[in-house]
Amino acid sequence: FVSSSARGRLQLKKSFARIVLSPSNSRVHCSVGTETQVQTLWSWAQAQGVQGESIRPSEVTEGLGLLAQRPVGQGDEILSVPETVWINLATVQKSSLGKVTEGLKSWVAIALFLIHETSNSNSKWRPYLDTLPKNLDSPLFWSDEELAELQGTQLLGSVVGYLEFLENEYNKVVEEIMERNTDLFDPAVFTFDAFRWAFGILRSRSFAPLTGEELALVPVADLMNHGVGLDDKNPSWLKKSSGGQIWNIGKSSSNVLTVRASANFQSGEQILMQYGSAKSNADLALDYGFVEPNTESQFGGGIERDSLALSLEISPEDRFIDDKADILEINGFQCSMQFDLPRGQGPSDEMITFLRLSALSGPDSFLLEALFRNEAWGHVSLPVSRDNEEGICTSMLEGLRAALDGYSTTIEEDLEILGQEDLSVRKEIAVVVRLGEKRVMQELQTWFEARLEELDSLEYYAERRLRNLGLMDDGGYMTPWVFNE
């Protein structure tokens, strides 16, 4: 079982012990006193120069969120947060951790700073830090038992990959920075769990354009929850800079994060944003610890979140691997590819072309000759031969059957579980994600089965070529003189 082996592979530095956080299964992160904490946060933020007359932070079903204090129109600027309040690389550089974290990736430096500040009772960001969720519902924080619900899914593979990545990053900073500066890094505080928590916080609370090297935590702006069906054509977060104005020279910061409403909101309604229309439910789960179980939305058409990222690889043992690799490279592909397949769309043309090329063998392999190098991709973008087309269908159907067998439940069982009341957040995430993957696989099965049925009616390379040379008419009949020969 993958998750337990992943756990087994987490070899942590001994001196930096782990503290296991208790899993949270409730939708609401808030505890008693949260309303006071929110008030304190809002007063603190306003004193720091945060402006937002039409909004107010509050407790909502998703934890904390922003409520409209008056009607807000789409595109209205509802909040501005000066850079002096953000936590970004510049903040870390100016802090007591600045010198020792020099050269680290932005997110690693900010994660260490976040842990540092969380244990600093005099932190400038105290009211903000007090409102950050202690427990996150991303599968990165699930127990083995909870992860078992993801058996067979790609999401489980991603979780394992992320945990390995985090462990490597953690061990690197332990070795290169923490162990050399124990006066700054208390091993009881800078644990792997704290590091993972900081990563989870950064992942779930940062939005473009303040990501990557520009990564920043922006208090109050990061209280906006995700709204199903909202548009993200116009970004909600905008970085504004008064740079270039002469009077600004010498001032420490001139950047402001402005938040724009992505729809109209009534007074008292929660102001929401779109976390990413291209994200699948697995992406939402991994980054934010929630999923969209259905696409119904108050904001119009919802987005299809069921998706499958199908990995296909041409075997290194393939007799023609060099020629195939060459053709793939010329056309911007590799021997190992991942195809993102949203539900309802069937396999993409590129995926089918890739499959045809990978299955080329026997009499069809003349298409791999150097003579055809530049046209080969075009040739395999249409059916090559009955054998080739049949081959891709049967191998896909075999692969899909095996993948579906790898899940511990059926589609029907998942639907039944989703109908249950009092489903925990984590169980709902697991069931929605695995059901989504299975539905896409089932659709693919139907697609390739239908393809098998139509093999006799497809036009293949040989016929196409004769027709293009004018040697065959549209009805598939040889022109008489060819026939007579």
Ligand X SMILES: C[S@@+](CC[C@H](N)C(=O)[O-])C[C@H]1O[C@@H](n2cnc3c(N)ncnc32)[C@H](O)[C@@H]1O
Q: Which two tokens stand for residue 410?
A: 């059926």
Q: By rule CB under 6 A, what string of x and - marks binding of each residue 94-133 to ligand X? A: ---------------------------------------x
Q: By rule CB under 6 A, what string of x and - marks binding of each residue 286-315 to ligand X? A: --xxx-------------------------
Q: How far is the CB of 143 from ligand X (least distance, A)?
A: 18
- In single-letter form, the type of residue at position 174 comes to V
Kindly provide the b/e burial profile for residues 62-91, where b requires at least 16 CB atoms within 10 angstroms of the residue's own CB.
bbbbbbbeeebeeeeebbbbbbebbbbbbb
The answer to whether the beta carbons of residues 271 and 72 sit under 8 Å apart is: yes
Question: Residues 170, 275, 288, 407: which is the catalytic one?
Answer: 275
d(CA 326, CA 335) in angstroms, rounded, equals: 9
Identity of the residue, 95 or 236, whose beta carbon is nearer to ligand X in the bound complex: 236
Q: By rule CB under 6 A, what string of x and - marks binding of each residue 157-196 to ligand X? A: ----------------------------------------
Identity of the residue, 159 or 380, whose beta carbon is nearer to ligand X in the bound complex: 159
Which residue do the tokens 């045809």 mark?
356
Q: Which residues pair with 478 in a beta bridge?
A: 472
Q: How far is the CB of 275 from ligand X (least distance, A)?
A: 7
3-state secondary structure of 463: helix
d(CA 385, CA 388) in angstroms, rounded, equals: 5
Separation in Å, CA 248 to CA 51, 214, 241, 419, 424: 20, 21, 10, 58, 51
Beta-strand ranges (E) seen in 245-292 are 255-260, 270-273
Q: How far is the CB of 289 from ligand X (least distance, A)?
A: 5
Identity of the residue, 290 or 354, whose beta carbon is nearer to ligand X in the bound complex: 290
Stretch that binds ligand X, among 221-229, 317-325, 377-385, 433-441 (CB under 6 A): 221-229
Which residue do the tokens 């309040």 mark?
85
Q: Which two tokens stand for residue 230?
A: 């909202």
Q: How far is the CB of 201 from ligand X (least distance, A)?
A: 9
128 has catalytic annotation: no
Identity of the residue, 230 or 400, whose beta carbon is nearer to ligand X in the bound complex: 230
The answer to whether the beta carbons of residues 408 and 151 sit under 8 Å apart is: yes
Stretch that binds ligand X, among 47-55, 91-99, 222-230, 452-460 (CB under 6 A): 222-230
Identity of the residue, 64 or 303, whose beta carbon is nearer to ligand X in the bound complex: 64
Stretch that binds ligand X, among 169-177, 219-227, 315-323, 330-338 (CB under 6 A): 219-227
Site residues (CB under 6 A) for ligand X, limited to 51-70:
62-65
The answer to whether the beta carbons of residues 108 and 173 sit under 8 Å apart is: yes
Give the residue numbers marked as catalytic.
Answer: 275
The residues that touch ligand X, with contacts defined as CB under 6 A, are 29, 62-65, 133, 204-205, 222-223, 225-226, 288-290
